[in-house]
Amino acid sequence: MMSDTLRAVLLGIIEGVTEFLPVSSTGHLLLAERFFGLGEDGFWKSFAILIQLGAILAIVALYFFKLSRVAIGALSNADDRRFIIGVLIAFLPAVIIGLIAGKYIKALLFDPWVVCFSLIVGGAILLWVDQIDLKPREHDATRYPLLMYLWIGVAQCLAMIPGVSRSGATIVAAMLLGGDKRSAAEFSFFLAIPTMVGAFVYDFYKSRAEMTSDHLGLVAIGFVVSFITAMIVVKAFLGYVTRHGFVLFAWWRVIVGTLGLIALALGK
């Protein structure tokens, strides 16, 4: 039987690798739970949310100087204040939909069949976006128009369907609205900060009664592993996607989704 420590490490790696790639971290974690028994009880379901903070801190560390410059500049610079407002505008739709329908989405859609179909459909969309001749107008994620931030935020709500991918939905939306690949990916990272910190705080509050010292130790392990893994993945992803696009991640989604469907059809 797999030890809790090894389970925490494996889930931390899955979270760190998939959170910022357009492949759906939630989808992969649900499939890992379904086929490998990595998260079958209440604590492990919360664990998957709690260790997202490690991945988020990786973004904060990688973009520390840029984010701190914007935060300090917001006191005197209108463009920096506008970017912060833009992130909040993009964050708002997910808050509204989450409060209204979050419980029902989890009850109805958090299912391996939904994950697999979403992975395949999302892969097809990534392949399509990679093939069309887009003409980027925006090259700096901190200078997008405010309406563009709002539409990216609306697109992020699609990621409440497991398997869709929060990063995939926001990157595709940003590119279709005129952003280049690099700035689209970077804004997806920035938007993840309030979105995932909010999810972390909410889930930690809900599961606080279940947290023992052993649980906190496992969360710490998953946190550190997801932080280190996400640091490596994000740095590699930006360079790769700028040069090569999304074909690799599209086929990744299609293959994982197809294998998942085959396994489910076979009753695995």
* Under 8 Å between Cβ of 50 and 221: no
Mean pLDDT, residues 238-246: 89
Domain boundaries, the chain: 4-265
What local confidence, expressed as pLDDT, does residue 118 receive? 97
Q: What is the pLDDT of residues 208-237, one digit of tens each?
A: 666 667 778 888 999 999 999 999 999 899
Q: What gap in Å lies between CA 250 and CA 235, rounded to an integer?
A: 19
Count of residues in the chain: 268
Per-residue pLDDT at 43 exceeds 70: yes
Look over the chain and give the mean of its residue pLDDT values, rounded to a whole number: 90
Mean pLDDT, residues 92-110: 89
